[in-house]
Amino acid sequence: MKYYIGIDIGGTNISTGVVDETYRIVGRSRIKTENGRPYSEVIQDILESVRQAFAEAKIEKEEVKWIGAGCPGTCNPETGIVEYSNNLRWENVPLLSDIENAFGKKTYIDNDANAAAYGEFLAGAAKGSKNAIVITLGTGVGAGIIINGKIFSGTNYAGGEIGHTVIVVDGYQCTCGRRGCFETYASATGLARMTKEALDQHPESKIAQLVEADGRISARTAFNAAKMMDDVGQAVVDRYIKALACGITNTINIFQPDILCIGGGVCNEGARLLDPLKELVAKSVYSRNNKKNTEICICSLGNDAGIIGAAMLGKCYEGALQKTAEGIKSVLTGSKK
């Protein structure tokens, strides 16, 4: 049995797992990221998380084939450099070589959303597909694109930013600098913002009762109000699902994947979210008269997707990066090989 190490680096936690050949996690570790610290400190915790996962799995280093890491931001899998991560405040850090040098194991890196999508593709809701897209609805909107079984991230490794496509011209201000991005409407943050606006306009609604009881507005507030037959809460939910359907329809029209999976806390609403979403997309998607339409479903791996996908990055990239390097060398030297 061969094992693989997957590291999911987030702004809150560094989650590491030892994954076997059947994509089962047999050892885990989680360390707080304490975001804002310099890279020199965080990398030491990343290495420690790997050691802890090793210890829990009770395996020897020789049994591990490779290590993979998923990280927010622009990760260059060819150079092993995290070129920019605004979440972690990193710029041009040598993540791959630091991990590789510490453990003497071949290491691969990629964007965390790409890794999570690859995890769902291999072992989760998108298993068995050829082309898949995974969209995560959290603080922002993350996405990973799988084309012909491989991660697609574009020429500069910053592709797949579906959350930063505009669905409302001159709409809400986005952290990326644009206005009206899909992320500003379809994220949990966007849903909470729309709920706050509704509360300000309708203080008599049941949203106010829920906020008073919970002490805050969350992405669940509007859905919970709607369950209480509150018209204002239902209007927020309808507006949210309409915006989500718009972004998903755009994505399907561009990529036409076999399957599109959505994840994040809001997906705990299940059919209350998925059924009206599917109905709206079916009415709008360009291929709606095609017999083979994109399936829309909810992710199945939860937080494990990032660990499993990162652990199996070598499966996606093994050999491919070497061929790329050889191709570049061939062009530079004029070789015909």
- pLDDT tens, position by position, for the chain (337 residues)? 899 999 999 888 999 999 999 999 999 999 999 888 999 999 999 999 999 999 999 998 899 999 999 999 899 999 999 999 888 989 999 999 999 999 999 999 999 999 999 999 999 999 999 999 999 998 889 999 999 999 999 998 889 999 999 999 999 999 889 999 999 999 999 999 999 999 999 999 999 999 999 999 999 999 999 999 999 999 999 999 999 999 999 999 999 999 999 999 999 999 999 999 999 999 999 987 677 899 999 999 999 999 999 999 999 998 665 444 454 445 445 654 4
CB distance 162 to 251 below 8 Å: yes
Q: Please identify which residue in the block is written with the tokens 């070129």.
A: 83
234 and 151 in a common domain: yes
107 and 50 in a common domain: yes
152 and 34 in a common domain: no
What's the CA gap between 139 and 128, in Å, rounded? 29
Q: Please identify which residue in the block is written with the tokens 């790997």.
A: 50
Q: Is residue 123 part of a domain?
A: no
308 and 294 in a common domain: no
Q: Which domain holds residue 140?
A: 128-298
Determine the residue type at 58: K
Q: Is residue 74 part of a domain?
A: yes
169 and 54 in a common domain: no
Structure tokens that stand for 276 in this block: 């009206």
105 and 191 in a common domain: no
What CATH number is associated with residue 22? 3.30.420.40
Q: Is residue 99 part of a domain?
A: yes
Looking at the structure of the chain, the number of domains it has is 2
What's the CA gap between 150 and 108, in Å, rounded? 14
Query: What is the pairing mode between strands 107-111 and 90-93?
Result: unpaired
Contacts of 18 (CB under 8 A, 6+ apart): 3, 4, 5, 25, 26, 27, 28, 53, 54, 56, 57, 59, 64, 311
231 and 282 in a common domain: yes
What's the CA gap between 185 and 167, in Å, rounded? 9
- The pTM assigned to this predicted structure is 0.89
Phi, psi of 70, rounded to the nearest 5 degrees: -105, 130
144 and 113 in a common domain: no
Q: Is residue 149 part of a domain?
A: yes
Structure tokens that stand for 170 in this block: 């001159």
What's the CA gap between 273 and 225, in Å, rounded? 14
Q: Is residue 336 part of a domain?
A: no
175 and 152 in a common domain: yes
Q: Is residue 337 part of a domain?
A: no
**Element of type H or E holding 150:** strand 150-152
265 and 185 in a common domain: yes
327 and 259 in a common domain: no
143 and 106 in a common domain: no
Structure tokens that stand for 231 in this block: 């018209």
> What is the layout of strands, in order, in the sheet containing 64-71?
25-32, 13-20, 3-9, 64-71, 107-111
Closest Cα partner for 138 from 112, 101, 169, 99? 112
